[in-house]
Amino acid sequence: MTPLIQPHRCGATAPRAFSLPAAWCLAIAIAIAAVLASALPSHARADELSPVGQEIAAYLDFAEYGGGTISAEQIPAASYAEAVFIDTRDAVQYAKAHIPNAINIEWRRVLEEAAQIPKNKMVVVYCNTGSLSAQAGFALRVAGWDNVRILQGGYDEWLQKGGMNANANANAKAAADR
């Protein structure tokens, strides 16, 4: 099966005063991780981590770089019928526009709603730009969903690249460039 998608705008559902650019969210997450890491003794070992920390460490040891993402150009039109697309934005944004046949599970509820998410077919999560769906995708992958991909650039980039025609557009451009 051809690979499939990444996510959302940090703080997009928060009041305007609390909205942050994705780069700031990443910087904040790195700062928090650094503070947490500095709280561990320098001799801390993986077996001294909490059970959740051990699961995350094990996942990170074996995660393939970029293996959890997919671009719009990598998704052939036929794959839209085969895969499950999860819009991790809030219900208001989902109601305005979404990838056809996508289901709506807000990013922070993916584990609570995990019973709806199959493990036997490709699952693509997305938000507006990728930051919140990346969190949802990471949570699912650590929880055992190896079939989850994050739509790179999210819904905004998916639209910009031609939506369901992004793969065909990329192939036509590559053929024309030869």
For the record, the structure tokens of 71 come out as: 């671009």
Mean of the pLDDT values across residues 61-68? 60
Mean of the pLDDT values across residues 152-166? 95
pTM above 0.75, yes or no: no
Mean of the pLDDT values across residues 19-23? 46
Contacts 24+ apart (CB under 8 A), 59-63: 59/141, 59/142, 63/141
Residue 54: its pLDDT value, please? 73
Mean of the pLDDT values across residues 131-157? 91
Give the tens place of pLDDT for each residue, 29-54: 555 555 555 555 545 555 677 877 77
Give the tens place of pLDDT for each residue, 70-100: 999 999 999 999 999 999 999 999 999 999 9
5: nearest Cα among 167, 115, 117: 167
State the pLDDT confidence band at 178, using cuts at 50, 70 and 90. Answer: confident
**Whole-angstrom distance between the N-terminal and C-terminal Cα of the chain?**
26
Residue 83 near residue 167, CB atoms below 8 Å:
no
C-alpha span between 76 and 56 (Å, rounded)? 32
Q: Which domains does the chain have, with CATH numbers?
A: 47-177 (3.40.250.10)
Say if residue 160's pLDDT is above 50: yes
For the record, the structure tokens of 72 come out as: 């719009």
